[in-house]
Amino acid sequence: MEIKSKKVLITGGSSGIGKALAKMLVEEGARVIITGRDQRKLERAATEIGAIAVHADVSTDEGVDKTYAAVESELNGLDLLVNNAGIGLRKPVDELEREDFQKVFDVNVFGAARMAAKAAVIFKNQKHGNIVNIGSTAGLKGYPTGSIYTASKFALRAMSQCWQAELRPYNVRVFQVNPSEVTTAFGQDSRRERPEEPNKLTSVEIAHSIISALKMDDRGFIPELSVWATNPFE
Ligand SMILES: NC(=O)c1ccc[n+]([C@@H]2O[C@H](COP(=O)([O-])OP(=O)(O)OC[C@H]3O[C@@H](n4cnc5c(N)ncnc54)[C@H](OP(=O)(O)O)[C@@H]3O)[C@@H](O)[C@H]2O)c1
């Protein structure tokens, strides 16, 4: 697809991967809504990159409804949904609590599903559209203390496969993107961006990968894309 003039919604676009992707899409001529929970941070990011800020929490029905009201009033349509908003939580198996799964799944799984449900109505009607789900390499393989987060990303990956099967007949492309470690505010209690490290991935590499995949002619799509740092161990 051509990026210019496309109508884009990115959940969680106020920092990290979502913000880098929003910036690149705006630079290529797209009209982009970004969402987030921290209103001041969101508005600062939107002003900086030329996006439209919608203060909304993906984990609530009110947040999803508010976001799609803005899609209608600000963009008057939609070509691309990026389910990027995500949170993490590490806990050993002997400390797992139902509430922890609920908190993470409300954002990473149920939030993404509710966002996609509304996009699917628009996309099936117009017989075209794109959904990018930001998963993780944690959605490919588990690791110690990863039960909650990896389960949420495995679930998101499963939904991507289902949506691919359901929506291809409507010319809708669904991309599952799995970044490995990226130096962002992710997992930081302070919510501060981590400084870049020479051998680790930054949000820019992930944004590039997504835009490259999107630019393929609409007759084709890449179902799943994993992005690794070449040598993060130094
Ligand atoms: N960084 C990594 O190493 C890494 C690796 C693999 C996958 N990922 C995935 O990449 C995605 C983006 O993460 P990131 O690394 O860019 O981290 P980040 O800088 O923490 O960005 C997360 C974004 O999501 C927003 N957000 C969180 N919960 C939300 C909610 N309930 N409603 C609306 N917005 C919400 C945040 O806004 P607020 O600050 O206002 O909450 C922020 O804009 C996540 O899905 C994450 O799982 C990250």
Query: For the segment 14-40, what is each residue's pLDDT rounded down to a tens digit?
Result: 999 999 999 999 999 999 999 999 999
The DSSP 8-state label assigned to residue 75 in this structure reads I
The pLDDT tens digits for 71-116 are 999 999 999 999 999 999 999 999 999 999 999 999 999 999 999 9
CB-ligand 1 contact for 12 (6 Å cutoff) = yes
Q: Residue 185: CB within 6 Å of ligand 1?
A: yes
Average pLDDT over residues 137-148: 98
Domain residue spans of the chain: 7-227
151-164: per-residue pLDDT in tens? 999 999 999 999 99
With a 6 Å cutoff on the Cβ, whether 149 touches ligand 1 is: no
Residues designated as active site: 149
Interstrand relation of 129-134 and 7-10 (parallel, antiparallel or unpaired): unpaired
Q: Classify the C-alpha dihedral 78-48-2-230 as positive or negative.
A: negative
pTM of the model: 0.98
Cβ of residue 74 lying under 6 Å from some atom of ligand 1? no
Query: Is the CATH code 3.40.50.720 the one for domain 7-227?
Result: yes
Amino acid present at 95: E
Q: Judge whether 157 and 225 are in contact, CB under 8 Å.
A: no
For a mutational test of ligand 1's pocket, the pick from 44, 59, 84, i.e. the residue with the most ligand atoms closer than 8 A to its C-beta, is: 84
> Is 80 exceeded by the pLDDT of residue 234?
no
